[in-house]
Amino acid sequence: MQDKLTIAIGCDHAGYQYRAAIIEMLSDHYTVLDYGVKTSESVDYPDIAHQVCKAVESGKANLAILICGTANGVAMTANKYKTLRAGICWIKEIAVLIKQHNNANVLCIPARYTAIEQAKEIVNTYLNTPFEGGRHERRINKICI
Protein backbone atom coordinates (compact mmCIF):
# COMPACT_ATOMS: atom_id res chain seq x y z
CA MET A 1 0.00 0.00 0.00
CA GLN A 2 1.18 3.51 -0.77
CA ASP A 3 1.76 5.85 2.15
CA LYS A 4 0.35 9.33 2.60
CA LEU A 5 -2.72 9.09 0.38
CA THR A 6 -5.92 10.43 1.86
CA ILE A 7 -8.97 8.26 1.34
CA ALA A 8 -12.53 9.44 1.97
CA ILE A 9 -14.90 6.66 2.95
CA GLY A 10 -18.64 6.69 3.33
CA CYS A 11 -21.50 4.29 3.59
CA ASP A 12 -25.19 4.03 4.22
CA HIS A 13 -26.80 1.73 6.76
CA ALA A 14 -26.14 -1.37 4.63
CA GLY A 15 -22.39 -0.83 4.71
CA TYR A 16 -21.60 0.43 8.18
CA GLN A 17 -19.87 -2.79 9.31
CA TYR A 18 -17.81 -2.83 6.11
CA ARG A 19 -16.80 0.79 6.66
CA ALA A 20 -15.46 0.01 10.13
CA ALA A 21 -13.46 -3.01 8.92
CA ILE A 22 -11.99 -1.12 5.97
CA ILE A 23 -11.04 1.89 8.09
CA GLU A 24 -9.28 -0.41 10.53
CA MET A 25 -7.37 -2.02 7.66
CA LEU A 26 -6.35 1.33 6.13
CA SER A 27 -5.62 3.47 9.17
CA ASP A 28 -1.97 2.44 9.56
CA HIS A 29 -1.02 3.37 5.99
CA TYR A 30 -3.42 6.11 4.92
CA THR A 31 -5.17 9.17 6.20
CA VAL A 32 -8.84 8.21 6.29
CA LEU A 33 -11.67 10.73 6.21
CA ASP A 34 -14.77 9.00 7.60
CA TYR A 35 -18.15 10.13 6.28
CA GLY A 36 -20.00 6.91 6.94
CA VAL A 37 -22.72 6.04 9.38
CA LYS A 38 -22.03 3.91 12.40
CA THR A 39 -25.36 2.10 12.80
CA SER A 40 -27.94 0.21 10.78
CA GLU A 41 -30.42 3.08 11.13
CA SER A 42 -31.67 4.00 7.66
CA VAL A 43 -30.09 7.01 5.92
CA ASP A 44 -30.24 8.40 2.39
CA TYR A 45 -27.13 7.22 0.53
CA PRO A 46 -26.84 10.35 -1.67
CA ASP A 47 -26.31 12.52 1.41
CA ILE A 48 -23.26 10.46 2.37
CA ALA A 49 -22.00 10.05 -1.20
CA HIS A 50 -22.07 13.81 -1.81
CA GLN A 51 -19.90 14.46 1.25
CA VAL A 52 -17.35 11.89 0.10
CA CYS A 53 -17.39 13.10 -3.50
CA LYS A 54 -16.90 16.72 -2.47
CA ALA A 55 -13.83 15.67 -0.47
CA VAL A 56 -12.27 14.14 -3.61
CA GLU A 57 -13.40 16.90 -5.94
CA SER A 58 -11.94 19.59 -3.66
CA GLY A 59 -8.62 17.75 -3.28
CA LYS A 60 -9.13 17.08 0.41
CA ALA A 61 -8.96 13.35 -0.45
CA ASN A 62 -7.09 11.56 -3.23
CA LEU A 63 -9.49 8.63 -3.58
CA ALA A 64 -12.80 7.48 -2.19
CA ILE A 65 -14.58 4.34 -1.14
CA LEU A 66 -18.38 4.23 -1.05
CA ILE A 67 -20.42 1.34 0.28
CA CYS A 68 -24.16 0.73 0.06
CA GLY A 69 -26.41 -2.27 -0.51
CA THR A 70 -25.89 -2.69 -4.26
CA ALA A 71 -23.33 0.10 -4.80
CA ASN A 72 -25.43 1.36 -7.70
CA GLY A 73 -26.89 4.35 -5.88
CA VAL A 74 -23.57 5.64 -4.60
CA ALA A 75 -21.92 5.04 -7.99
CA MET A 76 -24.67 6.95 -9.79
CA THR A 77 -24.27 9.81 -7.34
CA ALA A 78 -20.47 9.88 -7.66
CA ASN A 79 -20.55 9.77 -11.44
CA LYS A 80 -22.53 13.03 -11.51
CA TYR A 81 -19.31 14.82 -10.55
CA LYS A 82 -17.29 15.80 -13.60
CA THR A 83 -13.90 14.96 -12.06
CA LEU A 84 -14.94 11.63 -10.55
CA ARG A 85 -14.97 8.18 -12.09
CA ALA A 86 -16.71 5.62 -9.90
CA GLY A 87 -16.75 1.90 -10.51
CA ILE A 88 -18.70 -0.86 -8.81
CA CYS A 89 -16.62 -3.85 -7.70
CA TRP A 90 -17.86 -7.11 -6.24
CA ILE A 91 -14.72 -9.11 -7.07
CA LYS A 92 -11.06 -8.10 -7.01
CA GLU A 93 -10.62 -8.66 -10.76
CA ILE A 94 -12.99 -5.79 -11.47
CA ALA A 95 -11.09 -3.60 -8.99
CA VAL A 96 -7.98 -4.17 -11.11
CA LEU A 97 -9.75 -3.13 -14.30
CA ILE A 98 -11.47 -0.01 -12.98
CA LYS A 99 -8.07 1.22 -11.85
CA GLN A 100 -5.90 0.00 -14.77
CA HIS A 101 -8.29 0.99 -17.57
CA ASN A 102 -10.56 3.68 -16.11
CA ASN A 103 -8.32 5.28 -13.47
CA ALA A 104 -11.34 5.25 -11.17
CA ASN A 105 -10.94 7.54 -8.20
CA VAL A 106 -14.04 6.21 -6.43
CA LEU A 107 -14.42 2.54 -5.53
CA CYS A 108 -18.01 1.44 -4.87
CA ILE A 109 -18.66 -1.80 -3.01
CA PRO A 110 -22.02 -3.61 -2.79
CA ALA A 111 -22.34 -4.71 0.85
CA ARG A 112 -25.24 -7.05 0.13
CA TYR A 113 -23.24 -8.95 -2.50
CA THR A 114 -19.80 -9.22 -0.89
CA ALA A 115 -18.45 -10.51 2.40
CA ILE A 116 -16.43 -8.14 4.58
CA GLU A 117 -13.17 -10.03 3.96
CA GLN A 118 -13.86 -9.98 0.23
CA ALA A 119 -14.50 -6.21 0.40
CA LYS A 120 -11.18 -5.70 2.17
CA GLU A 121 -9.44 -7.70 -0.55
CA ILE A 122 -11.16 -5.56 -3.21
CA VAL A 123 -9.96 -2.37 -1.48
CA ASN A 124 -6.41 -3.67 -1.17
CA THR A 125 -6.36 -4.70 -4.83
CA TYR A 126 -7.78 -1.36 -5.96
CA LEU A 127 -5.25 0.65 -3.96
CA ASN A 128 -2.30 -1.39 -5.23
CA THR A 129 -3.22 -1.35 -8.91
CA PRO A 130 -1.67 1.39 -11.05
CA PHE A 131 -3.36 3.16 -13.95
CA GLU A 132 -1.93 1.93 -17.28
CA GLY A 133 -2.40 5.20 -19.16
CA GLY A 134 -1.81 5.04 -22.92
CA ARG A 135 -4.94 4.20 -24.89
CA HIS A 136 -6.91 4.19 -21.64
CA GLU A 137 -5.98 7.83 -20.97
CA ARG A 138 -7.36 8.80 -24.37
CA ARG A 139 -10.60 6.97 -23.61
CA ILE A 140 -11.21 8.38 -20.16
CA ASN A 141 -10.61 11.86 -21.54
CA LYS A 142 -13.68 11.28 -23.74
CA ILE A 143 -16.03 10.42 -20.84
CA CYS A 144 -17.11 13.93 -19.82
CA ILE A 145 -18.68 16.16 -22.45
Angle at the Cα of 36 (from 58 to 117), degrees rounded to 5? 110
3-class DSSP state for residue 31? strand
In the residue annotation, 89 being an active-site residue is answered as no
Burial class (CB in 10 A: 0-12, 13-18, 19+), 108: buried
Q: What share of the chain is helix, strand, coil (3-state, %, to 5)?
A: 45, 15, 40
Exactly one of 101, 108, 136, 144 is catalytic; name it. 101
Q: How big is the chain, counted in residues? A: 145
Candidate list 11, 53, 68, 89, residue with the active-site label: 68
Catalytic, 108? Answer no
Active site residues: 68, 101
